[in-house]
Structure 1
Amino acid sequence: MSSLNDILIRRAPAENDKEWKRSFKAVASLFYDKEIATISASLSQSLAAINQYQGAYTAATTGTILRKLTAAVAAVPEKNVTEKNTSSTHFVVPIVWSDEFTGRKEILKKIELLMENDEQHRRIAMIGLGGVGKTRVMLQYAYRFKDTTTSVLWIHASSISRVNKACLEIAKAVKFSRWDDPKSDKLELVREWLESPESGKWLLFLDNADDFDLLFGAGRLAKFLPRSNHGAILMTTRDARVGMEFAKQKCITLGALTNDESTELLRSRLGDSEESLEHLQNLGEELCGIPLALVQASSFIKQNYLTIPDYLELYRASDLDKIELLSEDFDDEIRDSESRNPVATTWSVSFDYIRKRDPLAAEMLSIMSTLDSQAIPESLLNFGSNKIKFQKALVTLQAFALVSARSDGFSWEGRKERLFDLHRLVRLAMRSWLNHHEELESHTAKALSIMAQRFTDGDWETRGKWSSYLPHAAVLLASEHFEALDDSYNDPVSHDNESGTLNHRPEGIVCQICAASLLTILATCHYTIGKPSLSLNEAEKAYRIRRNLLGENHVDTLAVLDLIAKPAKDLYLFDRAVEVCQLAIKGKTDTLGPDHPSTLRSYAYLGITYRPMGRLHEAKKYGTHALEHRRKHLGKDHPDTLISMGYVATVTRALGDYPAAIKIETEKFDAWTKLQGPSHPVRLEAMAELAWAHACQGNYNQAAQLMSHSVNAQLELHGSKHFFTMWSMANMAVILGMQGKYAEAEELCERVLELRTKYMGVSHPFRYVSKLYLAWLYNETGRYQEAEAIEREVLVFQQGFYGGKGNHDVLLTESQLASTLTYLGNHEEANKIKSDVLEIRMKSTGARHPVTLRCKSTLGLTCMHLGEFATSESLLVDAWENQKEVLGEGHPETITTVHRIAGLRERQGRHEEAQKLCEIVVEASVRALGEMHPRTRARVADLGRFDEFLKHENVFDDKFQVEGPDPTEAVNRLLAVVGISDS
């Protein structure tokens, strides 16, 4: 209206001028409807300005014109015009607002902070993954300005056609000059209007501005973006590079919702649902706090009358089910009508764009989707491209928030290995995209080829490298493309490895030989880190593939048999372990020769397998054979030789020759220390095995010192879940009990029992070994009924597991149960069990074996309780005489037998002999166990009270042969570490 006032003032016609009246009416016809008030206000403002600068006369004249103009306007009939709309504010937002918005308070505060200075042009970019809620947050901010003096305009900027369409809608709403001219450039018109004073204050939202080339490349859309001190542009983009180029430092990164925000969103979407907080949190965590995924899930739940647990059961069934649910379309009044709602298809927009603009980045993303989503090493992604192209591709993936760099990389071979995370839901969506385009198998095959070239060993020294590969290899081999490999007898893929690079022809098909090689590496690594079940499954699958493709006597096939034997033995699958050892020995002897290191390895494994089966002499035969030949052909300090020494020491200890076992274990321990240093796992294992040999010999303090050091170091190195760490902890609990530290022993034993139950399963024999030792501790502290219940439970399991009598573990449990029955006064049943066990021990382990002598001693005690003094004396004296020679007079078990003989002498009325023997027992007990040991104190109290002392006596029954400091500080530290590890 300022132009109109200028014309009126300049012409100032007379009142009776007919030409003026015609012009007056023409001007009046420009106004209609509700705009009259606006124009009147504008003219009033002009009048004030004229009055100040033009004087009273001009003001009066203009006032006359204004009155006439107002009257003329009132007389004009209503009519629609298409020439110009000069409304002061406009709200052009094509997306419907909803009051269901929750959370994001901090993000909105950041926007407000960046928008504070409204006296200059501002540009803000919100960056984030598709579906994370960028549009929703900006929409919430935009609606704050509805019905205010600030215009709000919205442009969907995913393509130039969408931009032009949005500009046309803005032109229709504002109706500035030439808006309806089909030849006019609406984008330019919008820019001109926003830069002019007529537009007033404004906010322009550029939504989904993801295409860098459209804005800053050939499209040059950025040059059409207005700059005005009375306006601001707010952008949403998936590409961080677009945001930073547009807004420089004023970028806001929008991540996933917090747990509380996810819960709040789900509550608002599900309405009056009675879902618990736990269920809401579970769903939020499962869907990674992605708002679009949560809205989609809540819609599916409501439409299908499901509960959250119902939905999660469907969702977690398989990756295919996850993809199907994430691909479900749904109504969302807030999202742009031309956008694709489902999560999976939303991200396909990003995939399509990256594929066109950066093929290397798309290829890397495809490979990543075949691996685990977390901590992906860059060495698995850089497959042949130069460093610059590789880095640019990484930047592309990071810019779209599909991939994020981690801060916990590692170094190996003198270089830093970076690790990257792929968003978990993005991985699922990418796999769906590849599957839809029939490219999933080809990229799985390529990932396998890359992995086979990078992941070549499972040595402890290179664990920093292979530990980062391990989860990705496991995920890769769990793919559906590997399910039927071990049933195939033909490999359709040929290899070309002459150039040092593995090439497959044809490409795109999973190579079974590579799969088998990777499985063997996985089996080795999983055994190294103490996961025998996983190791066995992988080794068995590798064996089937190689046997079918290469033949059962191929050296690669035979090598896998060793990988089966070790975990099978640890899992007590003795028949399978023996079978594969025998197959390996025969095949390797025929193929490689009897003295080949691989053949000797199979001999060693067969020997160590026979030991827990109770076939001790066969175990010693094969173990010694392997040791002697390894010393001859490999040398006394070769790692294979030292491993054989450990096997022979174990068998020697099982045969009851504890001094000889200690000698071998000490030699082995010293050699490993010299070869590998103080912190290597094999040295720590050797220390634990030496400690156990000392414990068997009754050197409890020395055993405690060694074992506590080993266990603490193992906990720091492996954590409490490792197979051997649990073995060492269990044996240290026994040693603590032998030292009379029953409370500490019970605490540690219970911890080990929890760990074995959790990580080895409720049916693993070692779990029952821990229960059995816990029962022994109950006996030591007078809880006999609790002990009996556990022992009977263990016995039922072992008889079913091992198949009846005769097994070493079964005999051990029967002996301990019989001792408990003795405590409870049930001497008849105890006598029967002990007699049966002794008979079997005499045949299986021999008359002078420490275990057999222990059985004789405890049976002699029972006979004494039954009044069979002659039989009791014969058994006790025979046990004592042999124990002195086999174990030594100062061994705790020898001392226990002397104590029983003293009790027998008192029962026989031979008081002086009993007194002398009891004094000898007390003195020996002080030397062997210490003055404060509970048994020493009980024996001191027994002096002079021979009629009652037997009720205090705790018998050394067959409790310590299966497994298995001061060091009070070390013990306390161990208990603390164990507690932390298991928390």
Structure 2
Amino acid sequence: MRLLHFNHSKRLVSTDFSGKSIPPYAILSHRWGNSEVLFEDIGGNTYKKKKGYQKIEFCAEQAAKDQLQYFWIDTCCINKWNLRELSRAINSMFRWYRDAARCYVFLPDVSVPTAADIRQEPALEASFRASEWFTRGWTLQELIAPASIEFFSSEGRRIGDKRSLEQLIHEITRIPVKALQNCLLDEFTVHERMEWAKHRQTTEEEDEVYCLLGLLNIFMSTSYGEGKEQAWRRLQIEVEAADAAPSIIPFSQNDHFVGQELQLAELEASLFTGKQTTMMAITGPGGTGKSQLALELAYQTRQKNKNCSVFWIDASDADSLYQSYANIAQKLDIPGWADEKADIRQLVKLYLSRKGSKQWLLIFDNVDRINLGSSGMSTALGAANLIDYLPQSKLCSIIFTTTNSKITKRLELQEIVELGEMTPDVARRTLQNYLKTPILESEQQEARPLLQELSYLPLAIVQAAAYINTRNTTLGHYRLQLLRQKEEARERSLVPSERRLQEYGTTGPVATTLLISMNQIRGSDPLAAEYMFLAASVDRKDIPLDLLEAPSPREREAAIRILNSYRLVTRRPAESALDLHQLVHSALRGWLQKQERLDQWSQHATSRLLRVFPDHNHGNRSKWRRLLPHARYALSHEVPKEGKGDRIDLTWKCAMALHTDGRYDEAEELFVQVMETFKRVLGEEHPDTLTSMANLASTVLGEEHPDTLTSMANLASTYRNQGRWKEAEELQAKELGICSRVLGEEHPSMLTSMANLASTFRNQGRWKEAEELELQVMETRKRVLGEEHPDTLTSMANLASTYRNQGRWKEAEELDVQVMETFKRVLGEEHPDTLTSMANLASTYRNQGRWKEAEELQAKELGICSRVLGEEHPDTLTSMNNLAFTLNGQGLTSNAISLMEDCCGLRAVVLGPRHPFTISSREALATWQLEAMEISVQNNT
């Protein structure tokens, strides 16, 4: 849970209390406006300009009056770019409101210019009764959950509290007075609690159901796009299953499911038949209904076996897998599920593998590869190999859905169900089920050839039915469009058309139905069509709405609803994102390619991503992790020369983000691309080149321009690396003076300049001057950025280094411990910065002769490096080298020699035999071996 407070500099600070004791806090209940302060705004300096900042000031001031330092506001206390955090927040919201010391309700549509008693002012009471706050779905739990609620007008004047306004609130909401007095909700039936939300409204129809989850004490994953009725049905199943085994099925049961009865029976008969985990697969081409068959099996199993838990797992990529496992851990309340450092996947695997009486059915959907790549959730998670996280128990059955037949060969499967095209009769029933109106007798003859044209493919039938429903057209008319499109394609061959979408080689019924719908959308809603073209140019999953430009949020939402009505996208309002089906995505890309417009849209996507993609500041980590797949997908498409500028800038941003995230190999690949481009354009880097660039920047842009200061800093860095300390110092001092004058003493660039100059002093052994600057940088960063900000921790580490070099071990140790523990908490134990801080503290211990403490820390660091980075990574070898020295310092010479021999061998292979590190390791090894021989000779004599 994150809480806000203002520090001594009146700067808004967000603190994460995960894993820590949560202090008393106030919480705000309000309605969202169009200019709210968001989580990502807090790290910058522009949040005060947003209209929503008024509510933050109000909440902080009111909390201070109630002697509360911390407060919570949903707009900026939830990192909505972090899907795991968002999911946890949605299911924790009721508890957070319940546990708040104070709840303030801010009513912008109720005005109280002067102090007044609502019970004696008819106009004020009428305004209070009419407030939209009482009509919204999500504010229901915010009214019921807290023990203390106070209502405030748009001017921030107190109107009253829940107790004093109890009767009036009862009259407005029809909620029993007893419920308003915070009695146990179990005293009211589920039906009674559902009735409280009956006349409340939500932006998304499904939220009319989801807003009840906290009141009913139910964990149920959201599935926007299922519709209110389906959401109600899922909720009803959860309510009825309160005493049954816990399950997570994020989709409602498909009322349109027909056919595949034999395959369904085949799968049911094979469940829980093995001595170990029973594993089966549903295979077939895309769009043949694999997921729908698995979904029907999930519901049938749950209905027939109340003692079996059913969990649906999205296995399309590492992040989705992790999120699914996190939901299971939270649902089962597995010990450690809330620990940010824990590998949730292993926790779930071990929990489901243990002996017990319950059965588990796991459905891994969209398994197109076993190795899912690296997870963006946390660099500590590393690559995800699906096989590593499969439970082993005779009480566990697993179903995989996949289009990849090679995967079925890698898994030891007891059963494989292959799906192909439907029979004509099943296809007809499927079409009828998806159409809003019955197929008339006169249309029966049209249905047969239409379904034949659609190859009896479920996805194509669903999209055709969606078009017919949306356009209110007939089967005959739709079939004519299919035939006309094929005829035009034959006539025009491969000649591009600017006015109509044609199939042009994007074969298959899904492509045909897609393009018919797109032709209609292009004419009626160009904005919706543009969204589809942009979506085709980025990764098909989790496309953030931030990428979709629109004159207003209302127009963007309208365009998305149109695409959803044609079944071309899947909406994810909770995550503010969209998904495209794989076949839809590839068909649209194929059409753009044939139209010679894929380059244009790839460039457009790159430019849009460049504007949205954040800098590599640690506070933006969740945002860049979600945008990275889209950026890298867009960059994977080569564009003409004129589009290179944005590509280079976006590539650089991606590289910096990856490097900050500790994903060095991926970052290196992108850095090389950027470097090679600059080499071709600017020539090789040279100090003289950098000097001329700095002079040019100063002449053209002016000495105080940010680009000029950057050039000066780069040149000073080059001087430092060459050991040209005097020249570096002169340039840094000049840069520091300009920064101080132009940016101010507390600006981040100013502090960076000071830190760089301190580094120059430190490298010259000018410890006193370095210490003075480093102390100033550290204290300022603590005050401005907060004690847990990476830049603050870096400045603390630099000061500790200065202390170490002066032999001031106690002072160095205090800082080293603080830095290491904070990095562990903020970034995780396996983050590169954490590992560096462990190495620094171990060095401090070693220099004090505290060998055992140093050894324990270094052994732990080496273990993490080996696991996360690999045994041959240079950082792992450095850890190995350092531990060998510590072992030797304790007189454990044989152990030290053995470890250093391994280190020398690996360094020779990885770095080369003549690398300075390889040579230094060999020299140490030779010295120890000689000393060991001498001791052996002495002992023998």
| TM-score over 0.5 for the pair | no
Q: Which has the larger radius of gyration?
A: 1
Normalised-by-shorter TM-score class: 0.3 to 0.5
Structure-1-length-normalised TM-score: 0.42
Structure showing greater relative contact order (alpha-carbon pairs closer than 8 Å, 6 or more residues apart): 2
Higher helix proportion:
1
